[in-house]
Chain A
Amino acid sequence: MMKKISGIEKKERRSVFGIVATVLLGIYAASLIFPLLWAIYSSFLGRLDFKSDPIFGAPAIQGFQPSNFVQAFKELHVTVRTSSGGVRLAYFFEMVLNSVIWSVGSSVVAELSRCMCAYVVAKFRHHSWTRLVHSLVIILMIISFPSNLASSINFNKMVGMYDNMWLRIVGSISFTGAHFLFFYAAFRNLSWEYAEAAYMDGASNYTVMFRIMMPLVKTTFFALVLLDFITAWNDYSTSMVFMPSYPTVAYGLYKMQSLGGKFGSSVPLRLASCTVVILPTLIIFIIFKDKLMGNLALGGLKG
Chain B
Amino acid sequence: MMDEAKKMTREKKNGFKQQYIKETVFILSVLVLPIAWWAFGFFFVTGESIWLAFQAYNIDEERFVFVGLDNFVTVWKSISTGGELGICLKNSFMLWCISTFVTLPISLLISFALYKNVIGTNFYKVILFLPQVVSSMVWVLVFKYLVEYGVPEIFPNLYGDLSETGVALDFLQNPKTNLATLMFYQQWITLAGGMIIYTGAMSRVPVGLVEAGHLDGMTNMEEFVHITLPLIFPTLSVTLTTCVISIFSATLPTYQFYEGTSSTPLHMWTMGYYMFAKVMNGTSVDYPMVSTVSLVVTMIAAPITLFTRNMLEKYGPETEY
Contact = CB atoms under 8 A, between A and B. Distances in A.
Direct A–B contact in complex, judged by CB atoms less than 8 Å apart: yes
Contacts of B206: 301-303
A25 interface: yes
Contact of B142 (A39, A151, A185): A39
A54 B149 CA distance: 7
A205 B149 CA distance: 62
B199 to A, nearest CB: 4
A93 interface: no
A205 B25 CA distance: 10
B237 A185 contact: yes
A301 B321 contact: yes
B45 A148 contact: yes
Interface string A1-31: 0000100110011010110011001101101
B320 A151 contact: no
Contacts of B22: 205
Contacts of B34: 113, 117, 173-175
Size class of the contact patch on chain A: 35 or more
A124 B125 contact: no
A176 B238 contact: no
Contacts, number: 280
B194 to A, nearest CB: 10
B59 interface: no
A274 B46 contact: no
Contacts of A197: none
Given A141-B245, A145-B291, A173 B116 contact: no
Nearest to A174: B34
B225 interface: no
Interface in B1-60: 22-24, 26-27, 30-31, 33-35, 37-38, 41, 44-46, 48-50
A155 B24 contact: no
A151 B42 CA distance: 11
A260 interface: no
A205 B128 contact: no
A186 B49 contact: no
A61 interface: no
A189 interface: yes
A254 B92 CA distance: 29
Size class of the contact patch on chain B: 35 or more
B104 interface: no
B120 A26 contact: yes
A191 interface: yes
B226 to A, nearest CB: 14
Nearest to A301: B204
Interface string B273-311: 001001100001001001100100110011001100100
A55 B149 contact: yes
Contacts of B64: none
B191 interface: yes
B309 A124 contact: no
Interface stretch (B81-89, B132-140, B169-177, B260-268): B132-140
Interface string B190-213: 011001110111111011110100
Contacts of B122: 289
Contact of A282 (B113, B114, B133, B320): B133
When A and B form their complex, which 6 residue pairs have the shortest distance between CB atoms, in order from nearest?
A: A294-B203, A303-B208, A185-B234, A21-B113, A17-B220, A294-B200
Given A36-B142, A271-B138, 9 more contacts: A28-B110, A135-B306, A178-B242, A189-B319, A223-B196, A234-B135, A234-B136, A293-B125, A294-B196
